[in-house]
Amino acid sequence: MPEHAAAIETRDIVRPPAELVHRLRAIGSATISGELNRLGVRSAAITGPVPRTPGAVVAGPALTLQCLPKREDLYPVDEYADPERQLHRHVLYHTRPGDVVVVDARGDMTSGIFGEMMLTYFVGRGGIGVVVDGCIRDFGAASRLPLGLWVRGATPNFHSQTNVVPHAVNTTIACGGTTVVPGDIIVADDDGAIVVPIGLAQAVANAGGEHADWEEFSRTRLAEGGDLQRYYPLSDAARPEYDAWRGQHAERRRSAS
């Protein structure tokens, strides 16, 4: 973080093991949603921000930014006035490779929290995904960056021009009706973005990996004309067939690695 920004108090996050993040990415948001539901967490999907970069898949720890309704006496409106007071910059200062920035922008459709320059900096630092319960600007240029975008929309306005202002960095936020704790793992793809609580991440990865395997097996059988009742969900009758397939599949993976 720049030296002149030290007066603004923000916290870094604790990042999970890369191997755990990789496993969750491979599972995908839909399977993770089901596994979290079985673990009693029914509100993990972030509602509102939608996929804006088709085909993008990201998983990584959450850097968080909280916005509040704007009060002009507390925050300068000028985009370039005293830039280091503007906390949308400070959340990006914490970026390490593989991070995802998550913003509670209160669902506001008039304030562009980040634009091309901020997002270019984020990518340069290794950031991989942005989830904003609100808008960004410079969408055309931003969508060409090697970056996954899950946002409500786009606007030409800069971040404090209208209704909201950045307030806190790396604090617990509500994004799209879902609580996000800094360091939680965000998994986002064409189905949307979901929050994996860090304390449940290992259990989700273990159960989700098994689920993903039998779905791959079942998908293969269904594509061959197999019986839906036998293969989805996987029936007890098909279990021996699946176990044999899984053993062969694991052997092929070991040989390829």
Whether residue 176 sits in one domain with residue 140: yes
Q: What pTM did the predictor assign?
A: 0.86
| pLDDT for position 211 | 82
Using the 3D structure, point to which of 174, 197, 220 is the last residue of a domain: 197
| pLDDT for position 56 | 98
* 51 Cβ neighbours under 8 A, 6+ residues apart: 148, 149, 150, 188, 189, 190, 191, 192
Task: Name the token pair of 12.
Answer: 């870094």
Whether residue 149 sits in one domain with residue 29: yes
Whether residue 178 sits in one domain with residue 210: no
Whether residue 210 sits in one domain with residue 193: no
Whether residue 167 sits in one domain with residue 101: yes
Whether residue 178 sits in one domain with residue 59: yes
Whether residue 122 sits in one domain with residue 42: yes
Helices (H) and strands (E) in the chain, counts: 8, 11
Q: Which of 125, 118, 127 is nearest to 79 (CA)?
A: 118
Whether residue 147 sits in one domain with residue 26: yes
Whether residue 89 sits in one domain with residue 214: no
Question: What SS3 state is found at 5?
Answer: helix
Q: Which domain holds residue 16?
A: 3-197
Whether residue 174 sits in one domain with residue 64: yes
213: pLDDT confidence band, cut at 50, 70 and 90? confident
Whether residue 146 sits in one domain with residue 28: yes
Site of tokens 């070991």: 254
The pLDDT tens digits of the residues spanning 52-96 come to 999 999 999 999 999 999 887 877 666 556 667 678 899 999 999
Whether residue 96 sits in one domain with residue 29: yes
Residue 126 belongs to domain with CATH number: 3.50.30.40
Q: Is 231 left (phi over 0), alpha (psi -120 to 50) or beta?
A: alpha
Using the 3D structure, point to which of 149, 174, 197 is the last residue of a domain: 197
- Alpha-carbon distance of 71 to 73, in angstroms, equals 6
| pLDDT for position 2 | 38
Domain count, the chain: 2
108: pLDDT confidence band, cut at 50, 70 and 90? very high
Q: Is 228 left (phi over 0), alpha (psi -120 to 50) or beta?
A: alpha
Q: Which stretch of DSSP H or E encloses residue 191?
A: none
Using the 3D structure, point to which of 162, 179, 197 is the last residue of a domain: 197
| pLDDT for position 210 | 82
- pLDDT above 80: residue 5: no
